[in-house]
Amino acid sequence: MARAVKFDRYGGIEELQVVEAPTPTAGPGQVVVEVVAAGINPGEGYIRSGTLHDRWPATFPSGEGTDFAGRVVAVGSGVGEIGIGEEVLGFTDERASHATQVVVPAEQVTPKPAGLDWDVAGSLYVAGTTAFAAVRAVDAGPGDTVAVSGAAGGVGSIAVQLLRARGATVLGIASEANHDWLRKAGAIPVAYGTGLIDRIRAAAPDGVDAFIDTFGAEYVELAVELGVPVERIDTIINWEAAEKYGVKTEGNAAAGTIDVLAELAELAAAGTVEVPIAAVYPLDKVQEAYRELEQRHTRGKIVLHP
């Protein structure tokens, strides 16, 4: 038997349980991966609570998790280029990666680059492809000044680095505890809270050209007040504000392909992009992992070890 995180109804973190589940089998075109590391993401918590029922409804009992990295333990017919024992990273569309094993179509895994840390590989897909899409959406480049809310979080920390790689000046909005990391990443840190708009204007006297919102709250309104063109504002979370102001909402759905994941994995393996690992929990401590995540002050990613 495998073990997997499940929940039987919408509710709080206490609904998450680790249960025995049938061992996955590889059908035609599929592979089974023994999971070494699997990232957790804020959206999973919103799905579990029912907050996103209208957008992404759950069916019960529901599994959980999208990101993973591990070793291939079974290969279905028609899979020609992936062998048993190969180290891979990938994603599942079935909310199933928070488990000891996961079965996915072979085209949803890519070889793990040599030297890429397992925890980074296992938490790269959702945050990485979301950051990739957001950076692409605001079309940032040399000469641009871009503000990023939640700049030290899982998505924000990657977006900051991708923006810097494009030559943009980056204002990283985050708590002061994360300012040293942001400076090392090449960003100008700006503390959130009362008076933020004045601090941004002081840090960018020539104005802000683009804005990426990874946190929600009032950041879309702040970007509009700063005079950022709506076509260069992207929020990955505040759909209500996006509809009100006509800003972009490009995230994982816009760039969630295996080719983008493979590109990000190579960047991470080369050290071009650092993925900070905030904490690692065993699968049995999944509730504790989400309690830490939902404080919304972690630097980088939280990872489960099945």
pLDDT of residue 55: 85
Strand partners, 300: 153
pLDDT of residue 101: 98
What span, in angstroms and rounded, lies between the C-alpha atoms of 125 and 135?
15
124: Cα separation from own chain's centroid: 7
Instruction: Evaluate whether 78 touches 29 at the Cβ level (below 8 Å).
Output: yes
What span, in angstroms and rounded, lies between the C-alpha atoms of 87 and 85?
6
Sketch out the chain's domains with CATH numbers: 2-123+276-305 (3.90.180.10), 127-253 (3.90.180.10)
DSSP one-letter string for 33-74: EEEEEEE--HHHHHHHHTTTTTTS---SSB----EEEEEEEE
User: CB-based contacts of 240: which residues, under 8 Å, 6+ apart?
Assistant: none
Helix axes 286-293, 42-49, angle to 10 degrees: 110
Burial (CB count within 10 angstroms: exposed 0-12, middle 13-18, buried 19+), residue 120: buried
User: CB-based contacts of 186: which residues, under 8 Å, 6+ apart?
Assistant: 160, 161, 164, 170
Token digits of residue 121: 């590989």
Question: Which value, in Å, is the radius of gyration of the alpha carbons in the chain?
Answer: 19
Q: Which of 149, 158, 266 is nearest to 200 (CA)?
A: 149
Distances (CA, A) of 258 to 103, 109, 123, 183, 222: 16, 7, 14, 31, 34
pLDDT of residue 296: 76
What is this structure's pTM?
0.94
CA dihedral (58, 62, 65, 71) positive or negative: negative
Token digits of residue 172: 């990283």
Digit-by-digit pLDDT tens for the chain (306 residues) are 999 999 999 999 999 999 999 999 999 999 999 999 999 999 899 999 999 898 889 999 999 999 999 999 999 999 988 999 999 999 999 999 999 999 999 999 999 999 999 999 999 999 999 999 999 999 999 999 999 999 999 999 999 999 999 999 999 999 999 999 999 999 999 999 999 999 999 999 999 999 999 999 899 999 999 999 999 999 999 999 999 999 999 999 999 999 999 999 999 999 999 998 999 999 999 999 999 998 877 788 999 999
pLDDT of residue 299: 83
What span, in angstroms and rounded, lies between the C-alpha atoms of 191 and 177?
9
pLDDT of residue 91: 98
